Amino acid sequence: VKVFLQENYLANWIQALFNSLPPEDFKNGVLVLGGDGRYFNKEAAQIIIKIAAGNGVGKILVGRDGILSTPAVSAVIRKQKANGGFIMSASHNPGGPEYDWGIKFNYSSGQPAPESITDKIYGNTLSISEIKTAAIPDVDLSRHGVTEYGSFSVEVIDPVADYLELMKAVFDFPLIKSLLSRSDFRFIFDAMHAVTGAYAKPIFVDALGANP
């Protein structure tokens, strides 16, 4: 976290990423933004939004409160046919002001950017000469809806919806629900301080009928 809190450190990386991509991969396009809710994510989201706007991105889809799990970002990218997405996460490393923070970029396929791009990003961080940022106010990420700034817009979305739809297509939810409704079956879910805690009630309780 302390490294990313250095002046323009994160902004440098974000601009270097845009400098590494072909303009057609993001100009007037749609990008997804979310993360695991750890320390510094909310501040980082505002930085990323403003630099995306400054580089000509057309729209950013942001999970409510900046929340989107890593597989959920991939699901939203594919479902919404986005050009790519930012994941604010340091994986299983501990969060907090004295611990870790990280950022990743996924392509339009929902997969992580290939090494050829990440190497290019690193190279550009060493030679960057300007950061293109838009002079727009911070966006309220706590409410669903669209905020427009000329040709650029930010849409705050349900962090669970597209991921849940994908899960329903992959797994037999009626069969799982029948198991959870049995009187002789009980289970415990431990999110282990992870972003999955935000998905537990919508999936296990609301969609599958588990008794909280």
Cite the active site residues.
91
Please answer whether residues 39 and 95 qualify as being in contact, where contact means their C-beta atoms are separated by less than 8 angstroms: yes
Please answer whether residues 89 and 38 qualify as being in contact, where contact means their C-beta atoms are separated by less than 8 angstroms: yes
Q: Which residue has the tokens 């601009």?
A: 15
Strands 103-107 and 84-88: antiparallel
DSSP conformation class of 114 = P
- Cβ-count burial 26-61 (b if 16+ within 10 Å, e if not): beebbbbbbbbbbbbbbebbebbbbbbbbbbbbbbb
